[in-house]
Chains A and B, each alone.
Chain A
Amino acid sequence: AQTVTQSQPEMSVQEAETVTLSCTYDTSESDYYLFWYKQPPSRQMILVIRQEAYKQQNATENRFSVNFQKAAKSFSLKISDSQLGDAAMYFCAYIDNDMRFGAGTRLTVKP
């Protein structure tokens, strides 16, 4: 059973605009790690951002930030000032014993 849910199979954003990708997960652990990976057409898995579950402060990496709501088991990714190079498949994942992935969201960036 899928323990990571990405409810948006596809998303589209205008260049320079902001987009938010949603992710919810299910774990009984109290300490775990959350990740967003980007997969461009090259197939490479690129780590975008990461968050420790016991840290309240939301992680930020340049134009990428997360909204982590531990009680709701929600971990959304916000991309600001979207660029053409952001177009890719995005996977939400968490590690408790091993890394579990969502089904992915395909992001299109329109010029």
Chain B
Amino acid sequence: DAGITQSPRHKVTETGTPVTLRCHQTENHRYMYWYRQDPGHGLRLIHYSYGVKDTDKGEVSDGYSVSRSKTEDFLLTLESATSSQTSVYFCATGLGQSLLGYTFGSGTRLTVV
């Protein structure tokens, strides 16, 4: 979706290195989310934000941190990447509990070797 940009699209990194994934939105949505997608699990929520500097943990938050300094940007950081964090990461935005659902970015494929 043109309203959400994720960078990078692909990344290969080594175990133990820090990694930051970026999400930028032009939707002006209050809520932003980070999900990871793994076979057999669908998409699982890592962290979410309900406003600038307001964030909370999701279902699989261990090993991840987030920051939101502006409405448009939501960063996901892996402090010390592990092989279990190899996944496809999606950013999403939305209006919270709404029939509009969420709008998703195109995903980042992260491989930790």
Residues of A within 8 A of B (CB): 2, 4, 6, 9, 32-33, 35, 42-45, 47, 50, 52, 91, 93, 95-104
Selected contact of A35 from candidates B42, B45, B48, B101, CB within 8 Å? B101
**In whole Å, how far is B56's beta carbon from the nearest beta carbon of chain A?**
9
User: In the bound complex, how far is the Cα of B33 from the Cα of A101, in angstroms?
Assistant: 13
User: In the bound complex, how far is the Cα of B41 from the Cα of A4, in angstroms?
Assistant: 10
User: In the bound complex, how far is the Cα of B97 from the Cα of A52, in angstroms?
Assistant: 11
Question: How many residue pairs between the two chains, A and B, have CB atoms under 8 Å in the bound complex?
Answer: 55
Residue of B nearest to A98 (CB): B45
Residues of A within 8 A of B99 (CB): 33, 50, 52
Q: Does B110 contact A (CB under 8 A)?
A: no
Q: What are 5 A-B pairs at a CB distance below 8 A? A: A43-B88, A50-B99, A52-B99, A97-B97, A98-B45
Residues of B within 8 A of A96 (CB): 97
A44 touches B1 (CB 8 A): yes
